[in-house]
Amino acid sequence: MPSPDDGDLGAPDPKIVVPEEVADAVRTLIRWAGDDPDREGLLDTPARVARAWKEYARGYEEDPAVHLARTFDEVGGYDEIVLLKDIPFQSHCEHHMAPIIGKASIAYLPRDRVVGISKLARVLHGFSRRLQVQERLTAQVADCICEHLQPKGVAVVIEASHACMTARGVGTPGVMMTTSRMMGTFRSDERSRREVLALMGY
């Protein structure tokens, strides 16, 4: 089985060409917020913001399902839960484009094949690096794994902090939102559901 990796890139590629209309849009926002986009400290900000958003939203450029294409059936008869726990991720909410920062636990009960463990994280990142709501992100990850691995069950639990709530609006820091999706045996069998949630630490 392949070694896990986080699949992350470094800083946004400085060679990315930023269209002038995108830079102008950032300048307009800076001006509307009350600052001067032509002052020294903000001169390069429009291009930096544009490149950063290319990084934040690079999930639109991939199909997360491709990471599940290569599977392995030589698992020595293993037929118990496979769990990748506390995978860190970041996203942005589609309502305010504010950060969503959290962790996900992804489990499945193999039928006859498994996938490299890093691929579960890649599926998560493929969907999280888009404008999102947490409920949809949870469902997309679970549905993708269920459809392409066809396991006996899938369980996804996501905990995240939403800056649209903690840094604005109601302004309540330290609050975590939890969402889950149970499919197959984890939905239909209470004992299996309790087992996978206990392994996840819930």
In eight-state DSSP terms, residue 13 is P
Find the catalytic residue in 67, 134, 140, 144.
134
Q: CA 172, 177, 182 angle in degrees (round to 5)?
A: 175
Find the catalytic residue in 96, 146, 148, 195.
96
Please give the full DSSP string across 99-151, using - where no structure is assigned. EEEEEEEEEEE-SS-EE-HHHHHHHHHHHHSSEE-HHHHHHHHHHHHHHHH--
Q: Which residues contact 174 (CB under 8 A, 6 or more apart)?
A: 161, 166
Find the catalytic residue in 62, 159, 164, 195.
164
Find the catalytic residue in 67, 92, 125, 162.
162
**Quick check: is 96 catalytic?**
yes
Find the catalytic residue in 93, 125, 132, 140.
93
Map residue 63 onto helix, strand or coil. coil
Give the integer Cα–Cα distance in Å for 22 and 9.
23
**Quick check: is 164 catalytic?**
yes
**Quick check: is 134 catalytic?**
yes
Find the catalytic residue in 94, 146, 148, 159.
94
Catalytic residues: 93-96, 134, 162, 164
